[in-house]
């Protein structure tokens, strides 16, 4: 999926403790995080509703909770509380005034200028910016994916449960290999080399005999907030079982349906894997149902889930 940069956006960033014009938000080339990837980040979506003419940020607090967990793992201290970050994020979006779906990128990093990769005795800082963002992966036409020859980083290498900037070099190798091979996305194997982990920046679900199966946390996944949202949809709205268990590579070849999920990816159907068609190659029935409910929830159309949607 091609993303086009809109040069008029964003206009602002939260940087150095205040909201300033994005062109003034600059970092030094010696910045430790730029040299060594010693930073953590989040990706949050805000949805524009045509009927209400409002923006709703989806599960913002949960994203900031994970942000703090990532910071804890990487020993980054944030001077702000979750509530303060939520308020700053709302202010930023208000100032941008988007009338379309957008994406929020909070980033906490080692801003010191000394040479050497380490997590202590370093200055630390945070910035936030937002961009307009439509589809990241195709939502209607099932995509072609392959198993990557690059495996996912294990917990005692770069912890995948934290969104560490440096570990996205691993994701970039996976995604690039897939694109060069004529695929749209990669599925990675966990560090045991034997089991399915996730996509380059999204979790994966398999449907087999009406069971929804997804890899467990110990297969080196980021425990996605979308994955968790889908657990609620599958349990509460569809009354179906979720099974968190290890998945073998060839189980994907005979799945009834496969789909990715993530803040960027949303709910994206997979049409083939390693050249094997999934089901009849069209979007699966359950995938479609889950996708529909997901979009109703993020656009605040189901009151039961309104607490997840923050009006801007």
Is 285 an active-site residue? Answer: no
Q: Which is nearer to ligand PMP, 89 or 226 (CB)?
A: 226
Q: Which is nearer to ligand PMP, 45 or 144 (CB)?
A: 45
Q: Which of 10, 152, 35, 184 is nearest to 93 (CA)?
A: 10
Measure the CA dihedral 90/93/99/102, to 10°.
-100
State the minimum distance, in angstroms, from the CB of residue 158 to ligand PMP: 11
State the minimum distance, in angstroms, from the CB of residue 227 to ligand PMP: 6
The helix, strand and coil proportions of the chain, stated in percent and rounded to the nearest 5, come to: 30, 30, 40
If binding is defined by CB under 6 A, does position 43 make contact with ligand PMP? yes
If binding is defined by CB under 6 A, does position 290 make contact with ligand PMP? no
Rg (CA), the chain: 19
- The number of angstroms, rounded, from the C-alpha of 114 to the middle of its chain's C-alpha atoms is 31
If binding is defined by CB under 6 A, does position 85 make contact with ligand PMP? no
State the minimum distance, in angstroms, from the CB of residue 121 to ligand PMP: 29
- Number of Cβ within 10 Å of residue 48's Cβ equals 17
- The number of angstroms, rounded, from the C-alpha of 297 to the middle of its chain's C-alpha atoms is 17
> What residue is closest to ligand PMP based on CB?
224
Q: Which of 16, 18, 27, 122 is nearest to 77 (CA)?
A: 122
Choice among 144, 163, 175, 299 that is catalytic: 163
- With CB under 6 A as the contact rule, the residue among 106, 132, 262, 284 that binds ligand PMP is 262
The answer to whether residues 244 and 214 touch, using CB atoms and an 8 Å cutoff, is yes
User: Looking up tokens 């961009």, which residue turns up?
Assistant: 131
State the minimum distance, in angstroms, from the CB of residue 30 to ligand PMP: 27
Q: Which is nearer to ligand PMP, 97 or 218 (CB)?
A: 218
Query: Which parts of 199-258 interact with ligand PMP (CB under 6 A)?
Result: 201-203, 222, 224-227
State the minimum distance, in angstroms, from the CB of residue 179 to ligand PMP: 17
Residue 229: its H or E element:
helix 225-232
Q: Which is nearer to ligand PMP, 55 or 226 (CB)?
A: 226
Crossing angle for the helix pair 82-96 and 60-73, to the nearest 10 degrees = 120
Residue 66: helix, strand or coil by DSSP?
Answer: helix
Q: Which is nearer to ligand PMP, 200 or 272 (CB)?
A: 200
Contacts with ligand PMP by CB under 6 A lie at 43, 198, 201-203, 222, 224-227, 262-263
Q: Which residues are catalytic?
A: 163
């Amino acid at each position: 999926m091609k993303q086009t940069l809109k040069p008029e956006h964003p206009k602002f960033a939260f940087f150095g403790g205040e909201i300033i014009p994005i062109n003034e938000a600059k970092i030094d080339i010696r910045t430790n995080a730029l040299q060594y990837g010693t930073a953590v980040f989040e990706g949050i979506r805000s949805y524009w509703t045509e009927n209400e003419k409002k923006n709703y940020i989806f599960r913002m607090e949960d994203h900031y909770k994970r942000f703090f967990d990532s910071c804890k793992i990487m020993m980054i201290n944030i001077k702000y509380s979750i509530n303060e970050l939520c308020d700053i994020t709302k202010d930023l979006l208000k100032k941008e005034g988007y009338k379309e779906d957008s994406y929020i990128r909070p980033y906490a990093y080692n801003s010191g200028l000394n040479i050497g990769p380490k997590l202590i005795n370093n200055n630390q800082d945070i910035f936030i910016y937002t961009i307009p963002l439509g589809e990241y992966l195709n939502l209607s036409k099932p995509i072609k994916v392959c198993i990557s020859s690059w495996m996912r980083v294990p917990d005692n290498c770069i912890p995948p449960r934290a969104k560490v900037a440096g570990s996205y070099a691993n994701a970039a190798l996976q995604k690039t290999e897939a694109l060069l091979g004529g695929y749209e996305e990669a599925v990675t194997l966990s560090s045991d080399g034997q089991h399915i982990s996730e996509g380059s920046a999204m979790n994966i679900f398999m449907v087999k005999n009406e069971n929804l199966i997804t890899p467990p946390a110990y297969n080196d996944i980021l425990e996605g907030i979308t994955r968790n949202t889908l657990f609620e949809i599958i349990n509460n709205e569809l009354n179906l079982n979720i099974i968190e268990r290890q998945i073998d590579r060839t189980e994907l070849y005979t799945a009834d349906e496969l789909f990715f999920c993530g803040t960027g990816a949303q709910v994206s159907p997979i049409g083939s894997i390693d050249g094997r068609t999934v089901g009849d190659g069209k979007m699966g029935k359950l995938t479609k149902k889950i996708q529909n409910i997901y979009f109703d929830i993020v656009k605040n159309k189901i009151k039961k889930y309104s607490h997840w949607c923050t009006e801007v």
